[in-house]
């Protein structure tokens, strides 16, 4: 069995992978089995996974030609996330606990992305190995390729991928074998560093409300599992009589790592200066970072306990274009249940009438928020100055902060700008014969103070009125204008047609037989209003379509220059000239003799003047009946040689067949020509 598709059939008999075949996936619920809950890892330790629960199967982009056949997906997955602290190559190994297990992997660069983007954004792919071979897999020195596809012919190891300093990466380990046996993941052999060497420490500490809770911020991510729930990782210094830390919990642990925690004190702290000190907890350690490095015992952070004060109306996010929601930001958390849903805690006064119709918070799991969104009945479309007021709402109070204190009434000013329109652009087109000029203008309106003009997707100007544009090549032109007043922005693309280009053009017969009428074809282009024809023999015509014209019989071959001058309403003109060769005769005849000596006279044998011979065949035979030459174009001529060999002097028989173009009559002629050397 060379391909994983064949294995899928076997596994389906065991009740596995049917979801993968049908394009569905069994949801993974454990931490680490989805991109957003990936294990944070570093390069200094071996990560061991004892078992692999069966789930997943979401389709993945893999740059292999057999994607449909191999059904690539995150089957029974675990994900690992790390940061590159020093750029270079990454070496790692995935070693199955059961040697016959088939593990696959894929590496992504998720810098600036949601980890779940790996399912939709193909550009995140860095390297991957989906070989069917069992045993250890990974990336190591001497291996080749950044992708190895499904099947026994692909090796288990890739070349070491290059990591970029400061970038974040996600490693998927997919377990194709339908067992729950685990593996070990270790890093090494490359030149990149994925180990954060910053010593772990407390960054800051502060009292929350009455000091019965302390917020502790760490200088980097630490392992959630190493935080003692009884708070024994921390002590207070000085410790007021009877007061101590009795608990601790993470703030948004994110699955495995925390950078903010709350220490719980068994009572309010009196006003004063304190230190929170790191100690070894009842779990036998201080907090450890994801590489197992502890915060040193005795390290501390100072804070000042002051009696809590009400949280005032603090700041307003500057409104953007046509705001219909105002966003208030508070220095402390606001209890979401104290926000009147009808918006009666707020009012707005200013240049134009504004009505508040609702309010809500961006509430966390504790029903607290730093931001309150005030909903207006309609967007504020015009420029103006306003003030938002906090007042007791329909519930009889203003807002209540996380300490249970009511915010005092207050107000904040804000300004708005007019909506803007790029469509107010005007253009003046000045058409010319050789050059067209366009003058662009944008009016001083709606407070617009930024302009970006992009002409034909190549040339840019940032002036209110850009320099006039000169065009020597006419036709379709585009301009994209973006305007802004600092509040509102608008973009429009305009198409302009410079349709004053004219081009004289005509088509005439190359040759003309005596007593044949010449027909002229006008192939001029543009918005034309005048056509002047000169047929070259003194005759002229004014008009778009000239009549047929009969040239005089001169008895000699004569060339006539035919001229067409075209003009438009702007007074622009263009000229085209072609020549008609009026022949002395169109009587078809074959010479009775020819002398192929290179003197330019009678050097060839061919039917003369066969201008009107259609479906022509001309053949030449020697006296033995052997064909010396055959042609189907009258201008193809026999030079008296066969395969480069000169034929001897003497008589040669020729046959000529053709259809007369004027009469439609089929002509057959036969004769003899003397070759003279």
Instruction: List pLDDT tens digits, range 420-451.
Output: 999 999 999 999 999 999 999 999 999 999 99
User: Per CATH, which fold does 506-582 belong to?
Assistant: Immunoglobulin-like (2.60.40)
How many angstroms separate the CA atoms of 417 and 400, rounded? 32
pLDDT digits (tens, 9 = 90+) for 179-208: 889 999 999 999 999 998 899 999 999 999
| Position 568 pLDDT exceeds 80 | yes
Q: How many CA atoms lie within 13 A of 163 on its CB side?
A: 30
For the chain, helix, strand, coil in percent to 5 are 5, 45, 50
Predicted pLDDT at 2: 37
Parallel, antiparallel, or unpaired for β 489-498 and 92-96? unpaired
Mean pLDDT, to the nearest integer, of 225-235?
96
Question: What is the Cα 365 distance to its own chain's centre?
Answer: 37
Predicted pLDDT at 643: 93
Predicted pLDDT at 366: 87
User: Per CATH, which fold does 593-675 belong to?
Assistant: Immunoglobulin-like (2.60.40)
φ, ψ (nearest 5 deg) of residue 70 = -90, -15
Across the chain, mean pLDDT equals 92
Tell me, yes or no, if the two domains 4-187 and 202-305 fold the same way.
no
Q: Are 501 and 568 in contact (CB under 8 A)?
A: no
How many angstroms separate the CA atoms of 93 and 105, rounded? 10
Number of neighbours of residue 112 by Cβ within 10 angstroms: 8
The residue behind tokens 């003279």 is 676
Cis peptide before 652 (omega within 30 of 0): no
The answer to whether domain 422-498 has CATH 2.60.40.10 is: yes
Q: pLDDT tier at 70 (50, 70, 90 boundaries)?
A: low
Residue ranges of domains in the chain = 4-187, 202-305, 315-416, 422-498, 506-582, 593-675
Q: Are 83 and 169 in contact (CB under 8 A)?
A: yes
Predicted pLDDT at 255: 58
- What residue spans of 391-487 are helical by DSSP H? none
pLDDT digits (tens, 9 = 90+) for 102-121: 999 999 999 999 999 999 99
CB burial readout 33-49, b (16+ within 10 A) else e: bbbebbbbbbbbeebeb
Structure tokens at 275: 């230190």
Structure tokens at 331: 């220095």
Of 13-22, 130-139, 221-230, 303-312, least confident by mean pLDDT is 13-22
Mean pLDDT, to the nearest integer, of 157-167?
96
How many angstroms separate the CA atoms of 110 and 167, rounded? 8
| Position 22 pLDDT exceeds 70 | no
| Position 286 pLDDT exceeds 90 | yes
Classify 4-187 by CATH class: mainly beta
Structure tokens at 356: 């508040």
Predicted pLDDT at 107: 98
Q: Are 218 and 203 in contact (CB under 8 A)?
A: yes
Q: pLDDT tier at 68 (50, 70, 90 boundaries)?
A: low
Structure tokens at 393: 């709402």
Q: What percent of the chain has pLDDT over 70?
A: 95
Three-state DSSP at 435 gives coil
| Position 25 pLDDT exceeds 70 | no
Of 348, 312, 345, residue with least CA distance to 330: 312
Three-state DSSP at 327 gives strand
pLDDT digits (tens, 9 = 90+) for 345-371: 999 999 999 999 999 999 988 899 999
Q: Are 150 and 72 in contact (CB under 8 A)?
A: yes
Tell the burial category of 327 from Cβ atoms under 10 Å away from its Cβ (0-12, 13-18, 19+).
middle
How many angstroms separate the CA atoms of 285 and 290, rounded? 14
User: Per CATH, which fold does 202-305 belong to?
Assistant: Immunoglobulin-like (2.60.40)
Structure tokens at 339: 């926000």
| Position 578 pLDDT exceeds 90 | yes
Three-state DSSP at 337 gives helix
- Calculated CA dihedral for residues 51, 57, 61, 67, nearest 10 degrees: 110
Distances in whole angstroms, Cα of residue 71 to Cα of each of 76, 126, 396: 14, 19, 62
How many angstroms separate the CA atoms of 614 and 586, rounded? 13
Q: Where are the beta strands (DSSP E) in 24-117?
A: 39-40, 47-51, 56-59, 73-75, 77-83, 88-89, 92-96, 103-109
Predicted pLDDT at 20: 39
| Position 4 pLDDT exceeds 70 | no
Q: Are 348 and 389 in contact (CB under 8 A)?
A: yes
How many angstroms separate the CA atoms of 503 and 501, rounded? 7
Q: Are 345 and 339 in contact (CB under 8 A)?
A: yes
Predicted pLDDT at 9: 34
Among 3.40.50.10860, 2.60.40.1220, 3.30.565.10, 3.40.50.170, what is the CATH number of 315-416? Answer: 2.60.40.1220
Q: pLDDT tier at 254 (50, 70, 90 boundaries)?
A: low
Predicted pLDDT at 257: 83
Q: Are 602 and 595 in contact (CB under 8 A)?
A: yes
pLDDT digits (tens, 9 = 90+) for 132-149: 999 999 999 999 999 999
Mean pLDDT, to the nearest integer, of 622-627?
94
Predicted pLDDT at 3: 40
pLDDT digits (tens, 9 = 90+) for 313-351: 999 999 999 999 999 999 999 999 999 999 999 999 999
């Amino acid at each position: 069995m060379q391909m994983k598709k064949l294995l899928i059939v076997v596994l389906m008999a065991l009740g596995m992978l049917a979801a993968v075949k049908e394009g569905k996936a069994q949801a993974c619920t454990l931490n680490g089995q989805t991109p957003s809950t990936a294990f944070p890892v570093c390069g200094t330790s071996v990560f061991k996974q004892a078992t692999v629960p069966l789930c997943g199967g979401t389709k993945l982009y893999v740059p292999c030609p057999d994607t449909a056949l191999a059904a690539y997906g995150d089957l029974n997955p675990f994900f690992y996330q790390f940061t590159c602290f020093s750029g270079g190559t990454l070496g790692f190994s995935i070693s199955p606990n059961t040697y016959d297990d088939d593990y696959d992997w894929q590496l992504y660069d998720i810098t600036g992305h949601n980890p779940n983007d790996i399912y939709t954004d193909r550009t995140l792919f860095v390297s991957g190995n989906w070989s069917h071979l069992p045993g250890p897999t990974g990336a190591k020195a001497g291996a080749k390729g950044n992708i190895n596809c499904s099947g026994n012919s692909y090796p288990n190891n890739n070349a070491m991928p290059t990591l970029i300093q400061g970038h974040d990466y996600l490693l998927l380990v997919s377990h194709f074998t339908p067992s729950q046996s685990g593996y070990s993941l270790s890093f090494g052999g490359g030149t990149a560093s994925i180990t954060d060497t910053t010593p772990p420490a407390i960054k800051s500490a502060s009292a929350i409300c009455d000091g019965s809770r302390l917020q502790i911020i760490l200088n980097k991510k630490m392992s959630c599992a190493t935080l003692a729930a009884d708070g024994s990782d921390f002590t207070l210094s000085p410790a007021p009589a009877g007061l101590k830390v009795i608990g601790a919990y993470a703030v948004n642990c994110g699955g495995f790592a925390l950078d903010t925690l709350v220490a719980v004190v068994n009572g309010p702290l009196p006003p004063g200066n304190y230190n929170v000190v790191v100690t070894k907890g009842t779990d036998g350690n201080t907090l450890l970072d994801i590489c197992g490095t502890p915060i040193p015992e005795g390290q501390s952070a100072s804070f000042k306990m002051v009696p809590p004060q009400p949280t005032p109306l603090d700041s307003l996010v500057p409104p953007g274009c046509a705001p219909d929601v105002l966003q208030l930001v508070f220095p402390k958390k606001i209890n979401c249940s104290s926000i009147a849903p009808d918006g009666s805690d707020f009012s707005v006064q200013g240049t134009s009438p504004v009505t508040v119709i609702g309010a809500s918070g961006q509430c966390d799991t504790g029903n607290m928020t730093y931001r309150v969104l005030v909903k207006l009945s309609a967007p504020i479309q015009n420029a103006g100055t306003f003030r938002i007021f906090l007042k007791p709402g329909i519930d009889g109070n203003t807002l209540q902060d996380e300490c249970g204190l009511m915010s005092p009434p207050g107000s904040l000013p804000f300004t708005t700008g007019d909506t803007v329109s790029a469509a107010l652009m005007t253009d003046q087109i000045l058409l010319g014969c050789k050059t067209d000029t366009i003058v662009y203008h944008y009016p001083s309106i709606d407070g617009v103070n930024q302009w970006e003009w992009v002409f034909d997707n190549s040339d840019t100007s940032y002036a209110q009125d850009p320099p006039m544009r000169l065009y020597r090549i006419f036709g379709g032109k585009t301009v994209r204008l973006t305007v802004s007043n600092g509040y509102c922005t608008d973009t429009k693309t305009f198409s302009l047609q410079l349709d004053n280009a004219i081009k004289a053009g005509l088509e005439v017969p190359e040759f003309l037989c005596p007593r044949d009428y010449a027909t002229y074809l006008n192939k001029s282009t543009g918005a034309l209003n005048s056509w002047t024809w000169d047929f070259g023999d003194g005759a002229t015509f004014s008009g778009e379509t000239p009549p047929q014209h009969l040239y005089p019989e001169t008895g000699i071959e004569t060339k006539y220059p035919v001229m067409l001058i075209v003009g438009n309403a702007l007074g622009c003109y263009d000229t085209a000239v072609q020549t008609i060769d009026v022949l002395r005769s169109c009587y078809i005849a074959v010479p009775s003799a020819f002398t192929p000596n290179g003197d330019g006279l009678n050097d060839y044998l061919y039917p003369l003047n066969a201008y009107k011979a259609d479906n022509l065949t001309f053949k030449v035979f020697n006296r033995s009946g052997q064909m010396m030459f055959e042609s189907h174009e009258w201008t193809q001529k026999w030079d008296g040689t066969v395969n480069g060999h000169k034929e001897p002097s003497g008589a040669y028989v020729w046959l000529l067949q053709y259809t007369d173009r004027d009469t439609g009559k089929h002509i057959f002629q036969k004769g003899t020509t003397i070759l003279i050397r």
